[in-house]
Amino acid sequence: MPSLSHARHIGAGAVLALALIGLPAGAASAEPGATSVTLTAQEQPKPARPTLEAIKQRAAQDGIPLEQAVKDYVSATAAKQTFSAAAQPDGPVDTPDVMVDDLHAGEIEDLTRIAAAEGIGLAAAIDAISWQPQFEKVAAELETGFPAEFAGAVKDDDSAWFGFKGDVPAKAVELARTLPVRVDLVGGRGFSEQELSAAATATHAAVLADPAVKDAATSYDVRTGTVIVEAQSSAPLAAQDLLPPQARAAGIQAQFVLVDKVSQPEDRYMRGGGSLGNCTSGFNLKYIHSNTKRHGTAGHCAQDYATRTYSNHSTHGGSTTVKRVWWHIGSWGDLSYYTVGSKTPGRTFYHDWNKTRYADDRSAMPSIGTRICHFGITSGGSCAKVARRDVSAGDMRHMVVMDKNISEPGDSGGPWYYAGTAYGIHFGLIGGKSAFTPAYLFQNRGYDVWHR
């Protein structure tokens, strides 16, 4: 792993953890409630999708796959629509602003890709994944509203899990009733995710301080309350003994795993998703307090490159020289940004080869089980599921690790997204699985993903 600079030590203090993750320090405390609550799938609301049902019937009658029938409907609907410059401020894109009931065409494209990759069919993918944005909003509201009590969220295909340090807040039950699946709200965990994260951060620092350790990545499992340390080390460590005393007292466990290689940035090969030579460009950024624009990518892509050549995909063509403004590998993950050169930056990004889409939102730290897609210059477009969040790897903090490796060298810096929501900037591999820096961390520099 290259030498990492601009690193900043993160202690176990909750206030610092809050500041970096972006939670308000003065959020409300938990309300008294039951220790655990289960909302069965039968009592939860189900989305009404009459248009989709009609498309399904048409597909069955015509003997064609649902994927093709939906694609035909989106194309036919888009052909009848006209859009104003206000609706498409940076010009037309390849993904039309067409809705199939509550599903945007961009989300359907991603669901189709996920269905093909997982071999489950589009209908099954819609059932298992399309409620993901609702789940993420509920998880974010609970994490923000009850930071001292929230103990984590996990999305499964047919259910959701939310944990709490003490009793389940009444507000959590209210919010959970908006989801269309079974929801398990588990109280009495004894610790919050904030405290579990702080314990992982402190343990990571202790592991790296051991002379036998060459590199390490530390994450945690919210369901089991376990801090997981994967390390390149000449000798095993007693990870449980490296946990802070207050973490052990709260019932947090630790697991140590010896590995051959911890992390590996992909730097073989900068609109979002374009080419930066041996890296991929991420999203365009806008300064929060002015109209200044920058072009975001990975920190290690900028570490040794004061200038780069950004190139569009072949259907658009053109390139420009961009200059490095800032780069960072450390407490804010693996991020950098460049000038925009002679190009006019937009709010669009490549989600596949020569195919563009608008960025319409930017996510906070994603929850476990969330499906997210990725584009890289080498591997193209692919999708995976969040396996670990808020992971420490080497000097980096707050990383997100997926459940499998779907990336290749050259993908570094590329966009992670779902539908029109920007999630992150590709790093490379952590523990052999694809990993990215959450895009919200650009806010630490006063920038955010520029979206419509």
- Please, which pLDDT band fits residue 34 given cuts at 50, 70 and 90? low
What pLDDT is recorded for position 175?
Answer: 98
What pLDDT is recorded for position 236?
Answer: 85
In this structure, what token pair is assigned to residue 6? 């601009």
- Is pLDDT at 3 greater than 90 in this prediction? no
What pLDDT is recorded for position 106?
Answer: 96
What pLDDT is recorded for position 35?
Answer: 86
Q: Which residues contact 377 (CB under 8 A, 6 or more apart)?
A: 269, 275, 279, 280, 410, 411, 414
- Please, which pLDDT band fits residue 11 given cuts at 50, 70 and 90? very low
Q: What is the mean pLDDT of residues 347-376?
A: 96
Continuous H helices in 294-415:
299-302
Spatial distance between the Cα atoms of 96 and 112, rounded to a whole number of angstroms: 16
> Cα dihedral sign for 91, 92, 95, 101?
positive
What pLDDT is recorded for position 297?
Answer: 98
- Is pLDDT at 197 greater than 50 in this prediction? yes
- Is pLDDT at 27 greater than 70 in this prediction? no
**Residue type for position 119:** G
> Cα dihedral sign for 161, 167, 173, 175?
negative
Q: Domain coordinates of the chain in residue numbers?
A: 20-45+131-186, 50-129, 193-260, 265-449
Inter-residue contact 266 to 410 (CB < 8 Å): yes
- Is pLDDT at 255 greater than 50 in this prediction? yes
Question: How many CB atoms are located within 10 Å of the residue 446 CB?
Answer: 13
- Is pLDDT at 270 greater than 50 in this prediction? no
Inter-residue contact 336 to 301 (CB < 8 Å): yes
In this structure, what token pair is assigned to residue 69? 């029938």
Spatial distance between the Cα atoms of 102 and 49, rounded to a whole number of angstroms: 7
Question: What proportion of the chain, given as a percentage, has pLDDT over 70?
Answer: 91
- Please, which pLDDT band fits residue 266 given cuts at 50, 70 and 90? low
Inter-residue contact 430 to 400 (CB < 8 Å): no
Q: What is the mean pLDDT of residues 381-399?
A: 96
Q: Which residues contact 111 (CB under 8 A, 6 or more apart)?
A: 103, 122, 125, 126, 129, 130
Reported as a single tens digit per residue, the pLDDT across 293-311 is: 999 999 999 999 999 999 9
Question: How many CB atoms are located within 10 Å of the residue 249 CB?
Answer: 11
Spatial distance between the Cα atoms of 224 and 161, rounded to a whole number of angstroms: 12
Q: Which residues contact 132 (CB under 8 A, 6 or more apart)?
A: 155, 370, 371, 418
Q: What is the mean pLDDT of residues 78-101?
A: 90
- The conformational region for residue 185 under phi > 0 = left, psi -120 to 50 = alpha, else beta, is beta
- Is pLDDT at 2 greater than 60 in this prediction? no
**What average pLDDT does the chain have?**
90
What pLDDT is recorded for position 24?
Answer: 32
Q: What is the per-residue DSSP string for 150-217?
A: EEEEEE-SSEEEEEESSSPPHHHHHHHTTSSSEEEEE---SS-HHHHHHHHHHHHHHHHTSTTEEEEE
Report DSSP state, residue 31.
P
Question: How many CB atoms are located within 10 Å of the residue 47 CB?
Answer: 14
Q: What is the mean pLDDT of residues 44-66?
A: 96
- Is pLDDT at 18 greater than 50 in this prediction? no
Reported as a single tens digit per residue, the pLDDT across 156-174 is: 999 999 999 999 999 999 9
What pLDDT is recorded for position 452?
Answer: 93
Q: Nearest to residue 363, comparing CAs of 377, 373, 351?
A: 373
In this structure, what token pair is assigned to residue 38? 């289960």
- Residue 428 phi/psi, 5-degree rounding, is 160, -125
CATH 3.40.50.720 fits 265-449, yes or no: no
In this structure, what token pair is assigned to residue 112? 């189709």
